[in-house]
Chain A
C-alpha cells in the first residue's frame, strides 16, 4: 500500500498562537487604566503575582495596588510624567499582594489616545524585579559604603597632612634650637675665654717684671684661679652641648694605648698637688678605643674630686685594667662615706655636696663625667662606705 505524506495533520500538530492567551498568560503583567485611573483590564499573570482574582482588581484604582508612599510618589511623579511625555519607562513600583506583602516590579507605561487626542487608556507592562531590586540595593549600599570610605580616607589624609606639617614644624624648631645652641656655645667659649686669656697674659707679665717672692705667691694663686675658671668654662660648654640636645660628642680613636693618657693626667695632678699620694695599679695589656681627651677629662675630674673630698691620711688609688673584656678605671679615696641620699643625686647637674666654699664648683663635674661614660657606651658608678669611696668607669671592649 502506498503511503502519502500527512501534511494536514502535521500542520494541525503545531498549535497556533492565541492572542487572548498571549495577553492572559504572557511572562509579564499587563494592566490597562481608564482615564480616571481605574483598572479596565488586567491579565492572569499579574493576578497570579498579586494572588487576586481579576474582579478584585478591575474597577479599582490602580494606585490602590500601591502602598501609601508608593501612592504619593505615583501621584507626584509618574502620573504627571505620563501626561507630559505620554509614557514612562523603567519605573520601580512595589505592588501589594492579597496577604499584605509587596512584590518588587519594574513598569513601563504608555497612553493610548483616540482620534481627537483624547485619552482612552493607559497601558502598563509590569515585570517582576525582585533580583534586580536586590542588585540595586546592593549597588546603593556599595555606593554609600564607598562614600563613607572616601570620607574616612579624606579625614585620614587631612590628619596625616597635619601630622607631617607638625613634624616639619618640629624639625624646623629643632634645627633652630640646634643653631641657637651652637651660637650659645660659641659665645660662651669666645666671650668667657678671651678675657680669661687676657688676665692670664697680664699675670705672666707681672710675674716677669716683679720677680720677688711676694708677687710670685700672688701670681701663682691667680694662675690657679685662672686654671679653675678655665675648667668651669669647659664644663659649662660641655653641659650646654649635652643638655641643649646635641649630647656630648666623642671621637673614638682606634688602636692607641690608654695608659700614656692616664699617666699624663696623673702627672698634671701631681705637679699641682705635690703633697698628695697617688697609688697607681695599671694592668692594661691591650689598646682601648676611646676619645682620649674625653677620658682624660673624666679621669682628671675623678682625681680632682678624690683630692678635694678624700682623707689626706690615705693615698688615692687608681686602678685601671681589663677583666673579662671590660675595661675599668677606678679612683678610690678614704674618708667619710657619702650619704645614700647624696649618692642618688651625685650625677645630676648642678648638684653640690657639703663642701668647703673654696672648692665650690658648678656641680657639673660628675654629671659631665657620667655623660662621657655614657657617650662611650660605658657607665660610671660609685660605691661609698666608711672605708673608701670608689668611682668606677666600666667599658665593654669586645
Chain B
C-alpha cells in the first residue's frame, strides 16, 4: 500500500509552494474543511489522515511504531518525500503541531514554515511548568478509553471496525468524522497526552507561527507562550476564538492569521 493510500492523502489547489494540513487527536482531515480551501488559489494543499484516523489504512496501524509521536512524524516525512516537498508550509493542529516539529527537525529542508494551532509540548504539569493536567487526570482519561465506553455507545463500536474497506458506508454514519477504533484511540491518546517535546522546541529551524486560542483547556495561553519562548524567532498570535478548535469555530480568523504569515 502506498503512502498516498495509507494516509488517505488528498491534493487540491496549485501554487509554487505546498501547504500540508495535519489534524490532531480526535478527528480527521475534515478538521480543516473551512480553512484549507481558502489557500487553494495560492498553494498546492495536502490533506491527510494519521494512520488509525479517518480513512487511513487501519491495517498499517503498528502499535509499536505509533506508541510515540516520532512514529507519526516519520509518516509526515515520508509523505513529504513522496510528494517531493521542499520549502513547504506545515500547518499542525493540536498534537500535530508537535508532530510537525519533530518532522521539521528530521527533514529541515522540507518545511520552511511551521504553523502551530493550539500547540502543547507537554500536557502534564511538571514542576514550574504548567501543562494544564495532573498525571492522574491523564491516567483517568486513558483508563476511561481502555474501558471502551468513553464518548461513544460501546454497542456502536463494531460499526467503526466493520467499515475500513468500505469508506462509502462510513460517510453515512453520523459522528464518523471523529470515530476511531477504540484501541487505536486509546494508544493515540497515550502517545499524545504523555508526550514531552519541550527539549525539541529550540531545535526548530523553520519560521514558526503559534495560533493561541482563548479559553482552551487543552492548550492554555501559558503553554502557547512557553512554545513561543522556546522556539527562537517564533511569532504568536492570540485569537479571539475560544476553545481548542478555532479552525472549526473561527475559521476566518485562522485563515487571516495564516495568510498574513505566509
Contacts and interface: CB of A to CB of B under 8 A. Distances in A.
Interface of A: 35-37, 63, 67-73, 75-81, 83-85, 87-93, 106, 132-133, 135-137, 139-140
Contact of A73 (B150, B175, B245): B150
A78 B178 contact: yes
Q: Which of A67, A77, A140 has the most CB of B within 10 A?
A: A77
Given A87-B174, A92-B152, 13 more contacts: A37-B243, A69-B137, A71-B217, A76-B27, A76-B218, A79-B245, A80-B31, A80-B248, A83-B245, A83-B249, A137-B147, A139-B154, A140-B149
Contact of A136 (B30, B155, B175, B193): B155
B222 to A, nearest CB: 17
A137 B149 contact: yes
A78 B175 CA distance: 8
A36 B137 CA distance: 24
Interface string B225-251: 000000000000000001111001100
Contact of B154 (A77, A84, A89, A137): A137
Given A37-B242, A68-B137, A68-B141, A76 B152 contact: no
B154 A75 contact: no
Nearest to B148: A140
Interface of B: 24-27, 30-31, 33, 94, 133, 137, 140-141, 143-145, 147-156, 174-175, 177-178, 193, 215-218, 242-245, 248-249
Contacts of B154: 136-137, 139-140
Contacts of B249: 35, 79, 83
Contacts of A73: 26, 141, 144, 150-151
A35 B250 CA distance: 11
Nearest to B25: A76
Q: Specify which of A83, A87, A135, A136 lies most central, judged by the most chain B CB atoms within 10 Å of its CB.
A: A83
B237 to A, nearest CB: 20
A75 B243 contact: yes
A77 B31 CA distance: 10
A66 to B, nearest CB: 10
A85 to B, nearest CB: 7
B161 to A, nearest CB: 11
Contacts of B216: 75
27 contacts: A36-B242, A67-B140, A68-B137, A69-B143, A69-B144, A71-B217, A72-B141, A72-B217, A75-B217, A77-B178, A79-B245, A80-B245, A81-B177, A83-B248, A84-B27, A84-B31, A84-B248, A87-B174, A90-B153, A90-B175, A91-B151, A91-B152, A92-B151, A132-B153, A137-B147, A139-B154, A140-B147
Nearest to A119: B249
B141 A81 contact: no
A67 B103 CA distance: 34
Nearest to B218: A75
Nearest to B140: A69
Nearest to B26: A76
Contact of B175 (A67, A71, A81): A81
A35 B141 CA distance: 26
Contacts of A91: 151-152, 175
Contact of A80 (B133, B156, B177, B215): B177
